[in-house]
Amino acid sequence: MDMALKTPQLVDSKLTDQFGRTVDYIRLSITDRCDFRCIYCMAEDMTFLPRDEVLSLEECARLIKVFVNLGVTKVRITGGEPLVRKNALWLFEEIGQMEGLKELVLTTNGSQLWKQAEALKRAGVKRINISLDSLNPVRFKQITRTGDLKQVLGGLQASIDAGFEGIKINTVLMRGSNDDEAMDLVQFAIDKKIDISFIEEMPLGEVNHARNSTFVSNADTLKLLQSKYSLLPSTETTGGPARYWRVANTKTKIGFISPHSHNFCESCNRVRITCKGELYLCLGQEDKIDLMPLLRANPNNDAPLIAAILDRMMIKPKGHDFDLRRAEPAVVRFMSHTGG
């Protein structure tokens, strides 16, 4: 796979928006496909994109190179489920040692890690986030519709054995579904000496269940956990929106990503790119630019692509407008479309 591209020399170009925020973190989806159908992420019957409407892995690598040249230091590869993409490992190997990229991370459902964890570590992946919403096999199957908890836990253990610098489980608590497992999931993380983040459910996608009735506030989850654990507020960051607390006398920290109860937009440093090459400037807004036409019309010249990216940064919105009281979701696209 030939990566010989003409990239202009960049001196002071940085991704800075109209509010003075510097974007140094991108989340890139490499596929809309997934072997799970999590109820807050996808419909049960999904129609996936034709192959020619999805970025090639070479195009993904080219985009990452452009963004790194513009000052991005952290790249997260997402999906769908990124590890179901054929030859996905090539992409990790291609960008894992890229000069200027400080952190290559992966978000995954964990289903493929049992066979790919070691190779991903060798490729240069620093940290892995694994979605895990239940430790009950029956409930896990209900939430994911197709997932096998045993396989995911096996993949998590394979990641631990491979020696990643950071492993974290991400959990979306939903009232009446898995909200009674917060304590168990934290204790699981403590026992495994890994981290955990609780993510408030976001009003994205079609109305497939009453999100207002299932919503669990991170403030309530924190209060619950403080009744059992000694939690110490921390200023640590992994470059994303999570606010962390250290569990005293353990190696575990607990993160809270709270788009409803604590709007984190004032420090937003990231943008998302879908597997179609759509650059979304905000998860909760529809502002975007289609990068695929620019990539394909200029196969050996990145200048038009760079100009478009720099131009669109100036319309990055101040923040999202999530409101659970709305009858309709804030954005009518699934999480899987935007990239996790």
pLDDT of residue 213: 77
Asked whether residue 1 is domain-assigned, the answer is no
Asked whether residue 89 is domain-assigned, the answer is yes
CATH code of the domain covering residue 107: 3.20.20.70
Asked whether residue 284 is domain-assigned, the answer is yes
Task: Give the domain extent around 93.
Answer: 25-338
Asked whether residue 15 is domain-assigned, the answer is no
Asked whether residue 14 is domain-assigned, the answer is no
Alpha-carbon gap, residue 107 to 66, rounded angstroms: 22
Domain count, the chain: 1
| DSSP-based three-state secondary structure for 117 | helix
Alpha-carbon gap, residue 92 to 126, rounded angstroms: 11
pLDDT beneath 70: ranges in the chain: 1-13, 202-212, 259-267, 283-286, 317-340
pLDDT of residue 284: 61
Asked whether residue 7 is domain-assigned, the answer is no
CA distances from 33 to 49, 140, 275, 296, 334 (A): 8, 19, 10, 22, 12
pLDDT of residue 173: 96
pLDDT of residue 138: 97
Alpha-carbon gap, residue 34 to 18, rounded angstroms: 36
pLDDT of residue 149: 98
- Residues 295-307: tens digit of each pLDDT: 999 999 999 999 9
- Residues 137-195: tens digit of each pLDDT: 999 999 999 999 999 999 999 999 999 989 999 999 999 999 999 999 999 999 999 99
Which pair of tokens denotes residue 276? 């179609």
Asked whether residue 16 is domain-assigned, the answer is no
Element (H, E) at 185: helix 182-192
DSSP character for 9? Answer: -
pLDDT of residue 264: 52
Task: Please say whether the beta carbons of 173 and 216 come within 8 A.
Answer: yes
pLDDT of residue 313: 83
Question: Checking phi first, is residue 239 left (phi over 0); if not, alpha (psi -120 to 50) or beta?
Answer: left
pLDDT of residue 323: 47
Alpha-carbon gap, residue 303 to 8, rounded angstroms: 7
Alpha-carbon gap, residue 176 to 4, rounded angstroms: 53
Asked whether residue 231 is domain-assigned, the answer is yes
* Phi/psi of residue 111, nearest 5 degrees: -65, -25
